[in-house]
Amino acid sequence: MPAIEGMLDFIDACPTPFHVVERAAGFLRASGFTELDEADEWPDATGSRFVRRDGSLVAWRHQACDAGFRIVGAHTDSPNLRITAQPDTGQAGYRQLGVEAYGSVLLNSWLDRDLGIAGRLATPSGTRLFRIDHPILRVPQLAIHLDREVNTKGLLLNPQTHMVPVWGLGLRTPGEFASVAAEAAGVGADEVLAWDAMLHDINPSVIAGIDGEFIHAPRIDNQVSCWAGLQALIDAPADSPPSAVLCLFDHEEVGSTSAQGAASTLLPTVLERIAGSRGALHPALARSLCVSADGAHATHPNYPERHEPDHHIAIGSGPVIKRNANQRYATDAVGEAAFAAACEKAGVDHQLYVHRGDMPCGSTIGPFAASSTGVTTVDVGVAQLSMHSAREMCGSQDPLDFALALGAFFSVAG
Ligand code: ZN
């Protein structure tokens, strides 16, 4: 049984999708999984294996196709601010860094925080991860004396002009970001060819609330699911059917259509290679089930009217199964019943979520996984507040229950 502190360590170790994949690979190796390279032939993909594609990873325990696959998918990315290609800028006597908003960011949540930078650098000898965990950046909020109606008319933020972090005084210095990132990565500034870099709140994740019932942390959406899926896969039996597959995808927050997102070839091609042939794959898919694991909206105590009145979701009341008639979530009755059975087998409660009918519903990787594999898919997740904030909130018991439910799902009958 994992401890919740392990999840907090995981989140704090993973400021970017690349760090999620690196950390997951480390966990998997320590648990006896061996890595395969997509560029190689795979004469035999049975056993406990994993493969990486940039900010995405697929891991599995497979012996035979007879009982199909039990697939758990989650995403490694979170909305944030990303460093531009030519970031060294400045105004009014400040050195600043140009950023772009990635995904549906709650921009206000990035104001007045102690921010670090992390990501990967492309160098002549391959990519190198880096992270800077001291408060090197801040996006200062405008004083109320200069924005008198902010509390009555709302905070309006332009992502181009209002979110530019400051990191020093003086004139802009071309090449400064590259040299700072190079030093953090342990390479020479002249080796930096390009980067995928982003900001993160350096405050550590904490157990919170009067009885320790909450977690306050960045990237709960969706590193909680990545962590729970990893725990479940590592605990899954190595040698008994069905085959357990965990896929952690990048780029969910921007629609999943990339070379390594949930809409990419990653999952279908890896499943085909695990199965050994297309002829073996298709019958196996017909016997498979998929869980798409992603954050769920807990009912907000200050805005209960924003929620569907007969589908209130509580923190601390177990995994949430998400339904949407228009297939923004992939769940159907068969998938709902299968995941409810997994929860029952694990001894945890579950809840049912439906979005208000008069507001557009979010989506996740479920519909992509379902449409690219043809496998019955159920969208589930841990209840949370402050979704897409730089610092989110969930329960301290729910992630543990979720890991148990995903573990039970890996052996549920088709
Ligand atoms: Zn998410």
Q: Is the pLDDT of residue 293 over 80?
A: yes
pLDDT digits (tens, 9 = 90+) for 253-273: 999 999 999 999 999 999 999
CATH number of the 80-201 domain: 2.30.250.10
C-alpha of residue 389 to centroid of ligand 1, in Å: 12
E runs forming strands in 250-375: 289-293, 296-297, 320-323, 351-354
Q: Is the pLDDT of residue 319 over 90?
A: yes
C-alpha of residue 32 to centroid of ligand 1, in Å: 29
Residue 370: pLDDT band with limits 50, 70, 90: confident
Q: Is the pLDDT of residue 363 over 90?
A: no
Indicate where the chain has its CATH 3.40.630.10 domain(s): 4-78+218-409
pTM (global) more than 0.85: yes
pLDDT of 1? 62
C-alpha of residue 107 to centroid of ligand 1, in Å: 17
C-alpha of residue 253 to centroid of ligand 1, in Å: 7
End-to-end alpha carbon distance in the chain = 26
Indicate where the chain has its CATH 2.30.250.10 domain(s): 80-201
pLDDT of 191? 97
Residue 394: pLDDT band with limits 50, 70, 90: very high
Tell me the pLDDT of the chain averaged across its residues.
96
Helix or strand run (H / E) with residue 85: strand 80-91
C-alpha of residue 353 to centroid of ligand 1, in Å: 15
C-alpha of residue 30 to centroid of ligand 1, in Å: 27
pLDDT of 237? 87
Q: Which residues have beta carbons under 5 A from ligand 1 (an ion)?
A: 221-222, 294-295
pLDDT of 194? 98
Q: Rounded to the nearest 10 degrees, what angle do helices 220-235 and 4-12 cross at?
A: 120
Q: Which of 42-51, 69-78, 233-242, 383-392 is the least confident region?
A: 233-242
The segment with the largest mean pLDDT, out of 177-181, 263-267, 410-414, is 177-181
C-alpha of residue 221 to centroid of ligand 1, in Å: 5
Q: Is the pLDDT of residue 414 over 70?
A: no
C-alpha of residue 388 to centroid of ligand 1, in Å: 8
Tell me whether strands 166-169 and 94-102 are parallel, antiparallel or unpaired: antiparallel
User: What is the rounded CA–CA span in Å between residue 186 and residue 179?
Assistant: 10
User: What is the rounded CA–CA span in Å between residue 339 and residue 30?
Assistant: 29
Q: Is the pLDDT of residue 413 over 80?
A: no
C-alpha of residue 304 to centroid of ligand 1, in Å: 21
Q: Tell me which residue has tokens 């550590």.
A: 204
C-alpha of residue 364 to centroid of ligand 1, in Å: 6
Q: Which fold has domain 4-78+218-409?
A: Aminopeptidase (3.40.630)
The 383-385 sheet, strands edge to edge = 206-208, 214-217, 392-395, 383-385, 296-297
